[in-house]
Each structure stands twice: as C-alpha cells, then as structure tokens.
Amino acid sequence: MKSLFIKLVANALAIWFAGWFVSGIDLADGASAGTRAKTIIFVALIFGIVNAIIKPIVKLLSLPLFVLTLGLITFVINALMLWLTEAISNKLDLDFHIDGFGAALLGALVIGLVSWFLSLVLDRD
C-alpha cells in the first residue's frame, strides 16, 4: 500500500513537472491551486491505471517491434499511454491537454525520468 502511494506521489510530481517543462502540456492552466492539485492527482491516478492495465497488453502485442527497434518503440508506447490518459481525463472533465504527438513524446520522457528518480528517492527502506 505504501508503495502504491509513493508511486502515485511520484507520478503526480512528474506530471506536474512535465506540465511546467513541456510547452505542449497544459494542466488546469489559470485554475486555483486546489483545482490544479486535484487535476494533477486524478491525472496521475489515471496514468497509473493505464500503465498498469493497458501498457502490458500493448507491449506484448508489439513484441516484434521491440526486437526490430531494439526497444526504442518504448518511447512511442509511453507517449501513446500519455495520450490515452489525456483522452480519458477529458472524458472525466479534467483540464489536461496535450498539443500533439511531439509534446506527448517529450512529456512521456520527462514523466518517466522524473518518476523514476522520485521513486528511487522516496522509496528508501
């Protein structure tokens, strides 16, 4: 349970950082701090669920592409998972928008690196 909470916090901070760093990712711009925090938490939760359920299926189905591209297809899959998170968030009326595939690709890279680093720092036993 503690590990799930740490992953949620790490993902939320990584998504917030990506929204700040990547110009094509908008997270409740112009909203109050409480609304913005709620949006970031819910987007992180959706992103975690998408990565836990859908991403393994997509990775399994694209196994030949992993071999062919020596694993570089992972970046594209991560961007597609972030784009799917945006689509689900929009259906739930969360103010999370990505302006194109380039922003999704860079955002997925930033989120992956930041959440990996934060998980290392926060999950010390």
d(CA 100, CA 61): 24
Helix ranges, the chain (H): 2-21, 33-61, 63-68, 73-91, 101-122
Higher per-residue confidence, 110 vs 3:
110
- Taking Cα atoms as reference points, which of 122, 103, 118 lies closest to residue 21? 103
The percent of residues above 70 in pLDDT, for the chain, comes to 97
* Residue linked to tokens 């999950």: 123
pTM value surpassing 0.85: yes
DSSP 1: -
Q: How confident is the model at residue 68 (pLDDT cuts 50, 70, 90)?
A: very high
The residue-averaged pLDDT of 22-31 equals 86
CB atoms within 10 A of CB 95: 17
pLDDT of residue 72: 92
pLDDT of residue 1: 62
Residue 2 has pLDDT above 80, yes or no: no
Q: Which H or E element spans position 26?
A: strand 25-27
